[in-house]
C-alpha cells in the first residue's frame, strides 16, 4: 500500500476559519439523530410509562444532552404545586397533604406560624382575662363550697353528737370526743355502758352520713371538670374563632386548607386546657427565684407544634418546571424520609419530621438519574418503579419496610406524582433490565440510543469543528487553530478505529482539548496548535503504556521470542490487541504449527487447556474445513496438526489470527518456510477469503514498533485484510517509514495472496485436470497430504495383516 492510503488526513486548509474563536458555538446535539428523535418523542408524549432511558457508553454526554432537552421543555411549562404536610387531627400517625399553587404554600406556612403565635396570645389573653378568671374561680369555688359545706355540716352535726372526724392516711375515722379532745379507747371504756352505747350509735350515724357524702364527691368533681371544660372551650372558641375565620376567607379557594383550619379550630377548642399552663404563670416571685423560663418555652413550643405546617416543596422562587439530577439516588433521597427525635428514651416522630426526597422536589418536572447508581442502592430501583407505577409518592422508611425497627412511625398520605424520568446508563444495563425486569419495559418505553460514531464527511468535519469550538468556549480554553482542529478530527477517527467515522464520545475529546490547552499554555502560546494536540496525545499514551513497554522490552531482550528476519517452516508472527483501561495496543505473537500422520484433526492447544475462547476455537475449526475442502476433497484428511500461540500465558479470544494460523499450518504441511519479517492479521473463512478484524491500526503499529526497535530492514511489513483498509488511521512514524520504503502494509483478499507474499512461491490454481501445477505452494501441500493419506492407508493394511 502507498503511504497516502494508510491514513485519511484532515486538511486544515479546507476549513474557512483561522481559529475556533471565529466559529459560532453549536447548541444542537451532533451525531445523535436517533437519540434526539427519541428525546423529542419521549418529551412530547404524556402517556404513563413513557419515561426515557438514554443508553450508550460512558462519556457520550448522555446526561448533559438529556438535561438540555429537559430544561428546554421545562422552560415552557408552568411552575408546579407547592406541597405541605399537616397534622391529621383524627389520626396523627397519618399526616395529611395539601397541594397549593406555587408560592401559596410559603404564605400558608407563614400564616399558620403567625396564627400559632396568635393562638398563644389570644388564648393567654382569654384565659388571663378577668372574665375567665372570675368565672373559673366561681365555678371552682362553687364546687368547693358545695363540698366544704357538706363536710362543715357533717362536722357540726358530728360535734353536736359528741363525735369527731379524724383523718388517717387512707380515710376517715369517726371518734367520740369529750371536752373537745378525742377519747382514747381506755377513756371510752371508763364511761358508763349506756353512754358507751349511745356514743357508738352516734358514731355509726355519722359514719353513714360520711359515707353518703364521700360517695357524692366523685360526681361533684366530674361536674366541676365538665363545667371547667365547657368554660375553656367557650373561651377558646371566642379567642381563636376570629383568627381562623380570617384565614378561611383568605384560603377559601382551597378546600383542603379550609378543612384543615376547621380541624385546627376544633382541636384548639377541645384542647383549650393545654394552653392553660401558659396562663398558669406561677408566681413572678417563684419564677424569679427558681427560673425555668426555657422549659416553659419548650413546653409551649411542643403544644403548638401540631398546628404548624411542614412545607416540603416550596416553589415560591421557581420560574419554571423543575429539572433535578439526583446524584445519590438512595431509597430515602428519592422518596424522602421520616426523621425521629429521642424523647424520654424513646424515638418519636411527627409530621414536622417528614423530609422531602427528589421525587417531591421534582414533582411536576423532570428527574435525571444514573441507572447504575439507582440499581446499586438498596431498594432504590424498586422504590422508583413503585412510585412511577402507582403515580404517588409513599414515604416509607427502609427500616420499617424491612421490618428492622418497630419504633413508632408515620404513614403520611401519599402525594400524586407527575414527572418524567430520564435514566442514563450503558447498553448492557439497558438490555439486562429489558430482559430481566418486566416492569422496566412498562415504565421506560422510550429508548434513546446514543451512537458512538458519526460519518466523517466534509460537512460533518465542519460541524465537528463547531463542536470543538463550543467545547473550547464552555471550558474557557484558548482558541484552537484550524491545524489543531484538523488534528483533533484525525484523532477522533483514530479513536473509533475508522478513517471514515468520527467519535461522538465527548469526554475523550474534551479531555484532549483541555490537555492540549495545558501544553499550549506551557509553551506560552495564545492559540492551541496541532503540535499541542499531538503532545497531549503522546502524553496520554506515555502515561498509559507501561505494560506495552514491558512487553516490547521482553521481545527485544529475547525473553519473548519474536523473529523479524529470516524464514521458518510452521512459524509465523500473528498479531494481538490488548486493551488496558482506555489504552489499546498491539503486539506480535509467535504462532507455530506441527503436523504428522493422523485422522484429520487440527488440535488447538489453546482450547485444549482452556486458554482459548469460543470464537478463537471456531476460527481453528474453520481451518479444518478449509483444508479438507481444498486439498482432501476425495481422500481422507490424514494428518494430525497442532497449533499454538507460543509464550502465551493468558486467554486468547477472537478469530483475527486464523489466517496466520492457516499460513503456519500450510507451511508445516508443505514444509515451505514463511518469512519472519512479516506479521499477519485477519480472519479466514472456509473458502479461503480473508476477512476484516478489529484493532488493525494498533496491530500494525505493534509490529512496527518491534521492527523499528530491532532495526527496520526495508522488507518488513504486515498483511491485513483488504476490508480493513478503510479503517487505517496509522501513526505518523509508521506512515513515514512506509513512505521511505522501510515498512510495508499488504492488503489481502484471499489466503493465496497471503501465501505468495509469505513464502515467495506461487500459490497455484488447479488446472483442467484439477491438479495444482508443480512447483506451486498448493501442489506441495496437496502432495504432502496425499503422502500422509497413502501412509495411513498402508499403515492400516499392515495393521490388519498383523491382526490376521
Q: Which of residues 658-717 bind other proteins (CB under 8 A)?
A: none
Which of 155, 233, 691, 708 contacts other proteins by CB under 8 A? Answer: 155
Binding flag, residue 168, other proteins (CB under 8 A): yes
Nearest to other proteins of 211, 328 (CB atom): 211
Among the listed residues 493, 317, 420, the one whose alpha carbon sits nearest the alpha carbon of residue 54 = 420
Nearest to other proteins of 175, 268 (CB atom): 175
Q: How far is the CB of 407 from other proteins (least distance, A)?
A: 32
Nearest to other proteins of 210, 304 (CB atom): 210
Binding flag, residue 344, other proteins (CB under 8 A): no
Nearest to other proteins of 221, 298 (CB atom): 221
Binding flag, residue 295, other proteins (CB under 8 A): no
Nearest to other proteins of 190, 601 (CB atom): 190
Mapped onto helix, strand or coil, the DSSP state of residue 595 is: strand
Binding flag, residue 129, other proteins (CB under 8 A): no
Separation of alpha carbons 572 and 272, rounded Å: 98
Q: How far is the CB of 124 from other proteins (least distance, A)?
A: 17
Contact code string over 226-265 relative to other proteins, x by CB under 8 A: ----------------------------------------
Contact code string over 191-230 relative to other proteins, x by CB under 8 A: ---------x------x--xx--xx-xx------------
Which of 11, 44, 76, 167 contacts other proteins by CB under 8 A? Answer: 167
Nearest to other proteins of 133, 262 (CB atom): 133
Which segment (165-173, 238-246, 427-435, 675-683) binds other proteins by CB under 8 A? Answer: 165-173
Q: How far is the CB of 184 from other proteins (least distance, A)?
A: 5
Separation of alpha carbons 582 and 342, rounded Å: 51
CB 418 within 8 A of CB 466: no
Question: Phi then psi for 443, rounded to 5 degrees?
Answer: -100, -25
Q: How far is the CB of 225 from other proteins (least distance, A)?
A: 16
Half-sphere exposure (CA, 13 Å, Cβ side) for 498?
16
Which of 249, 289, 295, 634 contacts other proteins by CB under 8 A? Answer: 289
Separation of alpha carbons 571 and 107, rounded Å: 85
- 435 Cα distance to chain centroid: 19
And the C-alpha cell for 700?
A: 500494525
Nearest to other proteins of 282, 559 (CB atom): 282
Please count the other Cβ atoms lying within 10 Å of the Cβ belonging to residue 456.
22
Nearest to other proteins of 191, 547 (CB atom): 191
Q: Which of residues 33-52 bind other proteins (CB under 8 A)?
A: none
Which of 11, 90, 171, 249 contacts other proteins by CB under 8 A? Answer: 171
Q: Which of residues 133-152 bind other proteins (CB under 8 A)?
A: 144-145, 147-148, 151-152
Q: What is the DSSP letter of 180?
A: T
Q: How far is the CB of 346 from other proteins (least distance, A)?
A: 24
Residues linked to residue 748 through DSSP beta bridges, in sequence order: 721
Q: How far is the CB of 173 from other proteins (least distance, A)?
A: 5
Q: Where are the alpha helices (DSSP H) in 523-680?
A: 530-544, 546-556, 605-608, 614-631, 658-670
Q: How far is the CB of 214 from other proteins (least distance, A)?
A: 4
With a CB cutoff of 8 Å and minimum separation 6, the contacts of 748 are: 659, 682, 690, 719, 720, 721, 722, 754, 757
Nearest to other proteins of 164, 456 (CB atom): 164
Which of 45, 58, 138, 166 contacts other proteins by CB under 8 A? Answer: 166
Binding flag, residue 186, other proteins (CB under 8 A): yes
**Can 420 be counted among the known catalytic residues?**
no
Q: How far is the CB of 155 from other proteins (least distance, A)?
A: 7
Which segment (180-188, 656-664, 738-746, 755-763) binds other proteins by CB under 8 A? Answer: 180-188
CB 685 within 8 A of CB 719: no
Binding flag, residue 496, other proteins (CB under 8 A): no
Which of 109, 164, 494, 779 contacts other proteins by CB under 8 A? Answer: 164
**Can 659 be counted among the known catalytic residues?**
no
Residues linked to residue 612 through DSSP beta bridges, in sequence order: 652
Is beta strand 446-449 parallel, antiparallel or unpaired with respect to 453-455? Answer: unpaired
And the C-alpha cell for 803?
A: 491382526
Q: Which of residues 269-288 bind other proteins (CB under 8 A)?
A: 282-286, 288
Separation of alpha carbons 34 and 449, rounded Å: 7
Q: Which of residues 398-457 bind other proteins (CB under 8 A)?
A: none
Which of 129, 182, 460, 617 contacts other proteins by CB under 8 A? Answer: 182
Q: Which of these is catalytic: 96, 308, 501, 699?
A: 699
Q: How far is the CB of 297 from other proteins (least distance, A)?
A: 19
Nearest to other proteins of 174, 593 (CB atom): 174
Mapped onto helix, strand or coil, the DSSP state of residue 735 is: helix
Q: Which of these is catalytic: 656, 658, 667, 683?
A: 656
And the C-alpha cell for 437?
A: 425486569
Question: Phi then psi for 103, rounded to 5 degrees?
Answer: 95, -30
And the C-alpha cell for 114?
A: 403567625
Helix 458-474 vs helix 482-496: crossing angle, to nearest 10: 110
Nearest to other proteins of 114, 184 (CB atom): 184
Nearest to other proteins of 197, 390 (CB atom): 197
Separation of alpha carbons 560 and 546, rounded Å: 17
Nearest to other proteins of 186, 476 (CB atom): 186
Q: Where are the alpha helices (DSSP H) in 410-522?
A: 427-436, 438-443, 458-474, 482-496, 506-522
Q: How far is the CB of 405 from other proteins (least distance, A)?
A: 36
Binding flag, residue 294, other proteins (CB under 8 A): no
Number of residues binding to other proteins, judged by CB under 8 A: 41
And the C-alpha cell for 676?
A: 519472519
Please count the other Cβ atoms lying within 10 Å of the Cβ belonging to residue 242.
11
Question: If you search the block for the grid coordinates 381506755, which residue do you land on?
Answer: 186
Binding flag, residue 154, other proteins (CB under 8 A): yes
Mapped onto helix, strand or coil, the DSSP state of residue 479 is: coil
Binding flag, residue 188, other proteins (CB under 8 A): yes
Q: How far is the CB of 191 from other proteins (least distance, A)?
A: 13
Q: What is the DSSP string of 105-121?
A: HHHHHHHHHHHHHHHHH
Q: How far is the CB of 284 from other proteins (least distance, A)?
A: 5
Question: Phi then psi for 574, rounded to 5 degrees?
Answer: -90, 170
| Long-range contacts, 393-399 (Cβ 8 Å, 24+) | 393/335, 393/336, 393/357, 393/359, 393/360, 393/363, 393/417, 394/335, 395/335, 395/336, 395/337, 395/338, 395/354, 395/357, 396/335, 397/332, 397/337, 397/338, 398/331, 398/332
Among the listed residues 246, 308, 243, the one whose alpha carbon sits nearest the alpha carbon of residue 269 = 243
Separation of alpha carbons 588 and 572, rounded Å: 10
Which segment (184-192, 561-569, 604-612, 670-678) binds other proteins by CB under 8 A? Answer: 184-192
Which of 13, 170, 249, 767 contacts other proteins by CB under 8 A? Answer: 170
Q: How far is the CB of 263 from other proteins (least distance, A)?
A: 34
Question: If you search the block for the grid coordinates 408546579, which residue do you land on?
Answer: 80
List, by residue number, the catalytic residues: 656, 699
Question: Which residues of the shown chain bind other proteins in the complex (CB under 8 A)?
Answer: 144-145, 147-148, 151-152, 154-155, 164-175, 182, 184-186, 188, 200, 207, 210-211, 214-215, 217-218, 282-286, 288-290
Amino acid at each position: 500500500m502507498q503511504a497516502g492510503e494508510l491514513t485519511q488526513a484532515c486538511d486544515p486548509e479546507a476549513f474557512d476559519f483561522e481559529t475556533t474563536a471565529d466559529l459560532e458555538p453549536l447548541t444542537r446535539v451532533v451525531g445523535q439523530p436517533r437519540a434526539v428523535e427519541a428525546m423529542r418523542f419521549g418529551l412530547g408524549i404524556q402517556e404513563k410509562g413513557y419515561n426515557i432511558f438514554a443508553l450508550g457508553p460512558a462519556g457520550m454526554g448522555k446526561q448533559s444532552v438529556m438535561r438540555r432537552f429537559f430544561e428546554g421543555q421545562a422552560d415552557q411549562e408552568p411552575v408546579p404545586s407547592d406541597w405541605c404536610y399537616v397534622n391529621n387531627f383524627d389520626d396523627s400517625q397519618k399526616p395529611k397533604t395539601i397541594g397549593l399553587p406555587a408560592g401559596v404554600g410559603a404564605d400558608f406556612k407563614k400564616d399558620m406560624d403567625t396564627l400559632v403565635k396568635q393562638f398563644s396570645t389570644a388564648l393567654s389573653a382569654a384565659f388571663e382575662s378577668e372574665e375567665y378568671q372570675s368565672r373559673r374561680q366561681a365555678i371552682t369555688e362553687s364546687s368547693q363550697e358545695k363540698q366544704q359545706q357538706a363536710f362543715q355540716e357533717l362536722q357540726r352535726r358530728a360535734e353536736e353528737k359528741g363525735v369527731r372526724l379524724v383523718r388517717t392516711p387512707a380515710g376517715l375515722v369517726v371518734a367520740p370526743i369529750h371536752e373537745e379532745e378525742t377519747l382514747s379507747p381506755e377513756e371510752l371504756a371508763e364511761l358508763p355502758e349506756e353512754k358507751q352505747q349511745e356514743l357508738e350509735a352516734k358514731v355509726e350515724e355519722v359514719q353513714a352520713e360520711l359515707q353518703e357524702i364521700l360517695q357524692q364527691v366523685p360526681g361533684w368533681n366530674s361536674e366541676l371538670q365538665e363545667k371547667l371544660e365547657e368554660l375553656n372551650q367557650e373561651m377558646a372558641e371566642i379567642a381563636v374563632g376570629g383568627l381562623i375565620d380570617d384565614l378561611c376567607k383568605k384560603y377559601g379557594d382551597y378546600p383542603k386548607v379550609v378543612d384543615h383550619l376547621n380541624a385546627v379550630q376544633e382541636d384548639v377548642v377541645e384542647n383549650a386546657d393545654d394552653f392553660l399552663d401558659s396562663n398558669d404563670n406561677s408566681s413572678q416571685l417563684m419564677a424569679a427565684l427558681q427560673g425555668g423560663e426555657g422549659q416553659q418555652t419548650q413546653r409551649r413550643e411542643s403544644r403548638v407544634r401540631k398546628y404548624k405546617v411542614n412545607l416540603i416543596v416550596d416553589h415560591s422562587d421557581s420560574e419554571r418546571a423543575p429539572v433535578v439530577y439526583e446524584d445519590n439516588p438512595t431509597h430515602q433521597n428519592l422518596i424522602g424520609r421520616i426523621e425521629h427525635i429521642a424523647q424520654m428514651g424513646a424515638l418519636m416522630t411527627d409530621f414536622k419530621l417528614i423530609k422531602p426526597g427528589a421525587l417531591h422536589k421534582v414533582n411536576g418536572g423532570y428527574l435525571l438519574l444514573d441507572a447504575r447508581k439507582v440499581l446499586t442502592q438498596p431498594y432504590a430501583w424498586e422504590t422508583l418503579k413503585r412510585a412511577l407505577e402507582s403515580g404517588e409518592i409513599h414515604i416509607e422508611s427502609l427500616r420499617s419496610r424491612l421490618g428492622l425497627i418497630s419504633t413508632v412511625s408515620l404513614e403520611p398520605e401519599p402525594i400524586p406524582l407527575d414527572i418524567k424520568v430520564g435514566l442514563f446508563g450503558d447498553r448492557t444495563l439497558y438490555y439486562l433490565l429489558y430482559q430481566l425486569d418486566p416492569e422496566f419495559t412498562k415504565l421506560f418505553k422510550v429508548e434513546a440510543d446514543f451512537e458512538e460514531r458519526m460519518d466523517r464527511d466534509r460537512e460533518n468535519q465542519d460541524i465537528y469543528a463547531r463542536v470543538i469550538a463550543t467545547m473550547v468556549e464552555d471550558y474557557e480554553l484558548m482558541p484552537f487553530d484550524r491545524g489543531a482542529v484538523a488534528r483533533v478530527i484525525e484523532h477522533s477517527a483514530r479513536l473509533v478505529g475508522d478513517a471514515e467515522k468520527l467519535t461522538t464520545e465527548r469526554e475523550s475529546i474534551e479531555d484532549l482539548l483541555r490537555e492540549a490547552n495545558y501544553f499550549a499554555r506551557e509553551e506560552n502560546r495564545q492559540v492551541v496548535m496541532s503540535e499541542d494536540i499531538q503532545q497531549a496525545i503522546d502524553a496520554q499514551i506515555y502515561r498509559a503504556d507501561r505494560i506495552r513497554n514491558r512487553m516490547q522490552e521482553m521481545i527485544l531482550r529475547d525473553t519473548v521470542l519474536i523473529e523479524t528476519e529470516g524464514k521458518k517452516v510452521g512459524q509465523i508472527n500473528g498479531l494481538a490487541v490488548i486493551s488496558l483501561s482506555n489504552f489499546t495496543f498491539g503486539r506480535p505473537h509467535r504462532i507455530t504449527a506441527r503436523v504428522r500422520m493422523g485422522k484429520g484433526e487440527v488440535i488447538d492447544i489453546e482450547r485444549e487447556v482452556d486458554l482459548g475462547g469460543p470464537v478463537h476455537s471456531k476460527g481453528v475449526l474453520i481451518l479444518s474445513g478449509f483444508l479438507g475442502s481444498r486439498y482432501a476433497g476425495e481422500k481422507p484428511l490424514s494428518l494430525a496438526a497442532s497449533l499454538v500461540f507460543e509464550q502465551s500465558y493468558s486467554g486468547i479470544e477472537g478469530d483475527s489470527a486464523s489466517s496466520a494460523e492457516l499460513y503456519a499450518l500450510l507451511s508445516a504441511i508443505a514444509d515451505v518456510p514463511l518469512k519472519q519479517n512479516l506479521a499477519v492479521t485477519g480472519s479466514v473463512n472456509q473458502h479461503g477469503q480473508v476477512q476484516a478484524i478489529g484493532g488493525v491500526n494498533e496491530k500494525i503499529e505493534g509490529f512496527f514498533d518491534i521492527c523499528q526497535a530491532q532495526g527496520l530492514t526495508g522488507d518488513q511489513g504486515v498483511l491485513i485484510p483488504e476490508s480493513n483498509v478503510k479503517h487505517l488511521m496509522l501513526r505518523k512514524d509508521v506512515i513515514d517509514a512506509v513512505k521511505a520504503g522501510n515498512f510495508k502494509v499488504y492488503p489481502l483478499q484471499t489466503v493465496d495472496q497471503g501465501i505468495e507474499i509469505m513464502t515467495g512461491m506461487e500459490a497455484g490454481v488447479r488446472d483442467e485436470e484439477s491438479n495444482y501445477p508443480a512447483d506451486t505452494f498448493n501442489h506441495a501441500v496437496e502432495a504432502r497430504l496425499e503422502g500422509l493419506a497413502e501412509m495411513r492407508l498402508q499403515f492400516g493394511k499392515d495393521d490388519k495383516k498383523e491382526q490376521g
